[in-house]
Amino acid sequence: MSGSVRLEDGALGELVITADGAFRATRADLERTGRIDAALIRRVLAGAGQAPAPDGTPATGRRLTVQGQPGQADRQWTDGTAAPLPASAAVLAALLGQALGEPGAPAALATALARTEPAAGTARSAAAVGTVAGRAAYALVEEDGAFGLTALDDAAPLGGSDADAGLAPTAVALGEAGGRSLFAVGSTDGSVQVWDAATGRVAHGTTGGEGAQAVAALVCRDIPVAFSAGQSGDLRAVRADDGRVLGTLPTGGRGATALRAAHCAGVDLLAAASPDGTVRVWDAGTGELMHLLVGHRGEVAALAVLTLDNQAVLASAGQDRRIRLWDLATGQSVAELDGHTGTVTGLAFTTLDDRPVLASCALDGTVRTWDVYDGRPLHGWPAGEWLTGLAAVEGLLYTGDETGRITVWEAATGRPATAAVPAGRPGSPLAALAAGTLHGRPVLAAGFGDGSVAVWDAPTGGQLLDLPGEGGPVHTLDLTADLLLCGTAAGAVRSHRLADGSALPLPVPHAGPVAGIAFTPGEQPLLASAGRDGALSVRDAATGADSRRFATGRGPFTALAATVAGGQPILATAGEDLTVRLWHAGSGAAGPVCAGLPRPAEVVTFAEIGGRPVVIAGAGDGTVLVWDVQDGSRTAELAGGGAAVRAVVGKEFDGEALLAAGDAAGTLRLWHLSSATLLNEAALDGTPLAIELDEAGLRIVTPGGAVTL
C-alpha cells in the first residue's frame, strides 16, 4: 500500500497504518504496535468509494481518513455525515479492538492478516525474604536486571550478578526444594528463571513468550519433540511427553515465522523461516545447521516438506508471493513458482497420477497446484476471499478462511469435492490446518481465532476432538504420530494426545508479564507463577518438571502467594476484577473468592492467625483486607494512606496478631489485627519491597537494602 490510513473511534481508540504495513493502536495511555498484510487494506479501500477531502475538524464519533494514495485525493469518511464510514472499515475496527485487547482474548483476524507485537511490560525492583543455605536472607532484583542475595542479620553478600543478567524483572521469590535454596525471577516477557541460590547456577526455567508462536512436532530418535519459536529469540526444543527441555537452536535472536519438521534418509530435519526471509535447515538430532537458504524478499509464512525415497524437497513461500522449491540434499534452489497475487499462507504436497504435486493458497483467494518435477502450473481456481490454511489428504485439498469455514476440493481438477466437509467454526477465523493419521486413518486438525482446536476423521467428516481455547488465538498447528502441537498468537504452546485430546505438560512461558511468583513449602514444593495473561503455571520447584498451565479465564492477575493448608498446596491470586481467588496448586481447582478490594492488589500473602490460615491483600489505594482461607469471609479491613501497598506481612505472637504493610509513598504501618488498631507509623528511606516480622522486630527490604525497626 501507499500513504496512510487512520481510524478514529471514540469508543475503541485510534488506529494508524503506514505505507509499510506497520500499525499503531492507541487508547488513553495504552499503545500497541504490529503489522498487517496489504490484503487487509486492499479490502477496505475496495469497498470505500469516494469521500470528501479532510476538513481538519476534530472527530466526535468514528472517522476514517486515507491520505497519500497515488493518483487520488485524500479522503475522509465520518459517521453522522453524508459520507459515513463504509462497511469495509469494520475490519479496521476489529483490528483496533484486537490489538488493544488482552493477549489471550479471542481474535477476529487471523495472524496471517494482522500480528500484534508483544506488549512491553515495565520492569521494576522486587524483593523477597527467605533462607539461603540455612541463613535468613533476602533477594533483591533491580530494574536493570542486576540481582543480589544478602543475609538479613549482618548484610553479608550471598551471591548475585550485575546488570548483564538479562532480566527485566517483575517478581521474585525465595524457596527451598530438593535440598537446595532456590531463587526465582519472573520477567516482563513472561519468562520464569530459577537459580540455585548457593551456587548461582541456573536450575531451570522458561524463555519469554515473545509473541506469535510457530511450532513443529517430530518423533526424533523415538522421542516426541516439540519445537517452538517466537518473533525473536532462538528455537526451543522440549520433550512433548513430559516437558523436559532438550535445548535450543540458534537463529541469531531473530525467532521464526514458520517451522516444519520431517524425517528423510535417516535424518530428522527441521526447517525454520526467519522474519527476514531466510530459511535455516538443521539436523534436529545433532543440532547441526545444514543449510541457510536465501532468496525470499519479505517474511516467509508457509513451509512444506516432501520426502521421496532418500530425497527431500522443501517448499517455502510468503509475502513476496513467490514459491521456492529447494533440494535439501544440496541446499540449492530447484524452482521458482509465480502466480499468486497475495501473500501465500499455505503449502501442502500431495500425489496425482503417481507424480508429486504442490498445492498452495494465498490471501488473493486462490488455490494453485504445481508439478514438482518440472515446476509448471497445473490448475488454479478461486476458493474464497482470504485463505488462511491448507492441508492435503489423499488427493483432496482442504482450505480454511477468515470466516472459519472449511472447504474441500479435488486436487486434480479444482472442483468442489463430494467428500464430507468438516464443520469448521463459523464466526471465528481459521488460523491453521494440519493433516495427519490416527490408527491408520487420515485426520484433519484446525485451529481458530478463539483459541479452540478441532480434529475430524477426514473420510467421514466426523468430529473426533473439540478442544476449548486456552493460551490465546491459534497461530500454527502440527501433527505427528499421536501428538497434536499448537502454537498461539499470545505466545503459549499446547501439546495434546491426538487419540483423546488429553493435555501434555510443556514448560511454556506466560503470554505477558509475570505478575507474581511463589514457592509452596513442604516435602514436595511447587513453584507457581501468575501472569497478566490470566494463566497460572505450576511446576516442580526443584526440577521444573511436570509443568502445568491453568487458563483461568479470570482476566489479568496482579499478585500471587502460595502456602500449604490442610496438607494441600494452595495459591492466592489477586486480579484486576478486584478479587482475591484461591486455587488448588496441584489441580487448578478454584476455591473461595474473596471480594471487597477497592482497587486491584499489588501484593498478597498468607498467614496463620488463631490457628486458621488467612490471606492478606494490599490494595492500590492503601487498604489492607484479610479473609479466612476456608470460606473466603472477610475478617479485617484496615485503611491506609492512599498510596498503593507494596509489601505486607502478618504474624501471631503469644496469641496477639500483628500486621505490617508498606506503601509506595515509603510509609510503614503496624496494626494490632484483632482490634484493627494502628500501633505505629514510620517513614522509610525508599519503597518497601518485602517485610519480615518476627521476634527480632521488623526488617524491611527497600531498593537500597534492608533496614530494621
Does the pLDDT of residue 209 top 60, yes or no?
A: no
Kind of pairing between the strands at 13-17 and 4-9: antiparallel
Q: 3-state DSSP call for residue 69?
A: coil
Can you tell me which residue has the cell 502454537?
487
pLDDT tens for each residue of 226-260: 998 887 778 888 888 877 778 788 887 778 999 99
Question: What integer pLDDT is reported at residue 121 of this predicted model?
Answer: 66
Asked if the domains 131-206+513-708 and 212-294+370-504 are classified in one and the same CATH topology, the answer is yes
Q: Which of 144-153, 168-177, 555-564, 614-623 has the lowest mean pLDDT?
A: 144-153
Cα distance between residue 555 and residue 576, in whole Å: 7
Question: What integer pLDDT is reported at residue 162 of this predicted model?
Answer: 58
Backbone dihedral region for residue 218 (phi beyond 0: left; psi -120 to 50: alpha; all else: beta) = beta
**Sheet containing 169-177: order of strands:** 169-177, 180-187, 192-196, 202-206
Cα distance between residue 429 and residue 680, in whole Å: 58
Cα distance between residue 540 and residue 561, in whole Å: 16
Distant-in-sequence, close-in-space partners of 137: CB < 8 Å, separation ≥ 6: 129, 130, 131, 149, 150, 151, 152, 158, 174, 197
Q: What's the rounded mean pLDDT across residues 599-610? A: 94
DSSP string of 80-114, one letter each residue: TSSSPPPGGGHHHHHHHHHHHS-TTS--SS-TTTE
- Degrees, nearest 5: CA angle 98-27-171: 80
Q: What's the rounded mean pLDDT across residues 302-328? A: 94
Helix (H) or strand (E) holding 44: helix 38-46
Any idea of the CA torsion for 202, 203, 208, 209, to the nearest 10 degrees? 170
Q: What's the rounded mean pLDDT across residues 47-66? A: 86
Q: Which of 426-430, 522-526, 624-628 has the lowest mean pLDDT?
A: 522-526
Q: Please, is 188 exposed, middle or buried when counting C-beta atoms within 10 Å of its C-beta (0-12, 13-18, 19+)?
A: buried
Does the pLDDT of residue 498 top 60, yes or no?
A: yes
Q: What's the rounded mean pLDDT across residues 616-622? A: 96
Question: What integer pLDDT is reported at residue 120 of this predicted model?
Answer: 64
Q: Contact 369/357 with Cβ under 8 angstroms?
A: yes
Percent of the chain with pLDDT over 90: 61
Question: What integer pLDDT is reported at residue 212 of this predicted model?
Answer: 56
Question: What integer pLDDT is reported at residue 598 of this predicted model?
Answer: 95
Does the pLDDT of residue 577 top 80, yes or no?
A: yes
Quote the crossing angle between the two packed helices 90-100 and 38-46, to the nearest 10°: 140
Distant-in-sequence, close-in-space partners of 443: CB < 8 Å, separation ≥ 6: 435, 436, 437, 455, 456, 457, 458, 464, 479, 498
- Does the CA dihedral 478-484-490-491 come out positive or negative? negative
Q: What's the rounded mean pLDDT across residues 51-65? A: 85
Q: What's the rounded mean pLDDT across residues 436-444? A: 95
Q: What is the DSSP letter of 119?
A: P
Distant-in-sequence, close-in-space partners of 47: CB < 8 Å, separation ≥ 6: 86, 87, 88
Between 8 and 544, where is the model more confident?
8
Share the mean pLDDT of the chain. 90
pLDDT tens for each residue of 517-538: 999 988 889 999 998 878 888 9
pLDDT tens for each residue of 213-223: 799 999 988 88
Q: How confident is the model at residue 4 (pLDDT cuts 50, 70, 90)?
A: very high
Cα distance between residue 525 and residue 520, in whole Å: 5
The b/e string for 243-275 (b: 16+ C-beta within 10 A; e otherwise) is: bbbeeebebeebbbbbbbbbbbeebbbbbbbbb
Instruction: Determine phi and psi for 385, rounding to 5 degrees.
Output: -115, -80
pLDDT tens for each residue of 316-354: 999 999 999 999 999 999 999 999 999 999 999 999 999
Q: What's the rounded mean pLDDT across residues 381-389? A: 95
Does the pLDDT of residue 490 top 80, yes or no?
A: no
Question: What integer pLDDT is reported at residue 301 of this predicted model?
Answer: 95
Instruction: Determine phi and psi for 232, rounding to 5 degrees.
Output: -150, 175
Q: Contact 140/165 with Cβ under 8 angstroms?
A: no
C-alpha cell at 146: 542486576
Question: What integer pLDDT is reported at residue 682 of this predicted model?
Answer: 93
Does the pLDDT of residue 165 top 60, yes or no?
A: no
Distant-in-sequence, close-in-space partners of 473: CB < 8 Å, separation ≥ 6: 106, 107, 110, 111, 431, 448, 449, 450, 451, 488, 489, 490
Domain ranges of the chain: 4-100, 131-206+513-708, 212-294+370-504
Cα distance between residue 512 and residue 203, in whole Å: 22
Q: Contact 387/346 with Cβ under 8 angstroms?
A: yes
Does the pLDDT of residue 390 top 60, yes or no?
A: yes
Q: What's the rounded mean pLDDT across residues 493-501? A: 91
Kind of pairing between the strands at 677-683 and 30-36: unpaired
Q: How confident is the model at residue 35 (pLDDT cuts 50, 70, 90)?
A: very high
For domain 131-206+513-708, give the CATH number: 2.130.10.10
Does the pLDDT of residue 146 top 90, yes or no?
A: no
- To which CATH superfamily is domain 212-294+370-504 assigned? YVTN repeat-like/Quinoprotein amine dehydrogenase (2.130.10.10)
Q: How confident is the model at residue 103 (pLDDT cuts 50, 70, 90)?
A: low
Cα distance between residue 228 and residue 172, in whole Å: 26
Q: What is the DSSP letter of 622?
A: S
Q: 3-state DSSP call for residue 488?
A: strand
Side-chain-side CA neighbours of residue 125 (13 Å): 17
Instruction: Determine phi and psi for 46, rounding to 5 degrees.
Output: -65, -30
Question: What integer pLDDT is reported at residue 426 of this predicted model?
Answer: 92
Question: What integer pLDDT is reported at residue 117 of this predicted model?
Answer: 82
Cα distance between residue 640 and residue 622, in whole Å: 4
Q: What stretches of 79-211 show up as alpha helix (H) in DSSP?
A: 90-100
| Predicted TM-score (pTM) of this structure | 0.79
C-alpha cell at 310: 532418500
Cα distance between residue 692 and residue 649, in whole Å: 7
Q: What's the rounded mean pLDDT across residues 137-149? A: 85
Does the pLDDT of residue 507 top 70, yes or no?
A: no
Kind of pairing between the strands at 30-36 and 114-116: antiparallel
Does the pLDDT of residue 305 top 70, yes or no?
A: yes
Does the pLDDT of residue 552 top 80, yes or no?
A: no
Does the pLDDT of residue 210 top 60, yes or no?
A: no
Question: What integer pLDDT is reported at residue 257 of this predicted model?
Answer: 92
pLDDT tens for each residue of 63-95: 999 998 888 889 999 998 989 999 999 999 999
Does the pLDDT of residue 167 top 80, yes or no?
A: no
DSSP string of 290-350, one letter each residue: EEEE---SS-EEEEEEEEETTEEEEEEEETT--EEEEETTTTEEEEEE---SS-EEEEEEE
C-alpha cell at 615: 490471606
Q: What's the rounded mean pLDDT across residues 618-641? A: 94
Q: What is the DSSP letter of 117?
A: P
Question: What integer pLDDT is reported at residue 211 of this predicted model?
Answer: 54
